[in-house]
Amino acid sequence: MDLRARISAATKQAMKDRAAARLSTLRLINATIKDRDIAARGEGNDAGVSDTELLAILAKMVKQRRESASTYEEGGRLDLAEAEMAEIVVIEEFLPRALSDDEITAAVDAAMTEVGASSIRDMGRVMGVLKGRYQGQMDFSAVGPVVKEKLSHAG
């Protein structure tokens, strides 16, 4: 079952279960996807966004909620932070399993070998390979410094 179908099925089930908070999050996901589909059609892509792009959208939604939850915690609004964390749990159901630190290191090494990376100038190419292959499975803002460190010692 493709990602869109899984999200639709989950939305229908949440309606049947009368799970208001879950349904609200799923509707947010659907609205975000619909917005991106409309933008893609405007750019000439009649099929809308691909599953890879959907994973990127979901990963971005998780990142936004983590940042919001952190801000709310710092402001002493634990109720709002908990609501953001609950949304993250729902969104992450549709993302692939996150890679472990060892798997990330192996993926970075493989990407560096694949593009023949030898210096920091190759960072964009390495990150491009990783983003194409592991969307939704790793936090690229955390992986960037790992790639930079490895490349600074490669040259």
Q: Which CATH number fits domain 3-92: 3.90.230.10, 3.40.30.10, 1.10.1510.10, 3.60.21.10?
A: 1.10.1510.10
pLDDT tens-digit series, residues 13-71: 999 999 999 999 999 999 999 999 998 888 887 778 888 788 888 988 998 999 999 99
Please report the pLDDT score of residue 120 as a whole number: 85
pLDDT tens-digit series, residues 64-99: 999 999 999 999 999 999 999 999 999 999 988 878
| The model's pTM | 0.72
Please report the pLDDT score of residue 22 as a whole number: 94
> CA distances (Å), 133 to each of 5, 55, 84, 91, 122, in order?
22, 11, 28, 20, 17
Give the fold, CATH level 3, of 101-154: Arc Repressor Mutant, subunit A (1.10.10)
Q: How many CA atoms lie within 13 A of 134 on its CB side?
A: 22
Q: Is the pLDDT of residue 8 over 90?
A: yes
Break the chain into its structural domains and give their ranges: 3-92, 101-154
Please report the pLDDT score of residue 154 as a whole number: 65
> CA distances (Å), 100 to each of 49, 140, 145, in order?
28, 13, 16
Please report the pLDDT score of residue 95 as a whole number: 86
Count other C-beta atoms under 10 Å from residue 126's C-beta: 25
pLDDT confidence tier of residue 11, bands split at 50, 70 and 90: very high
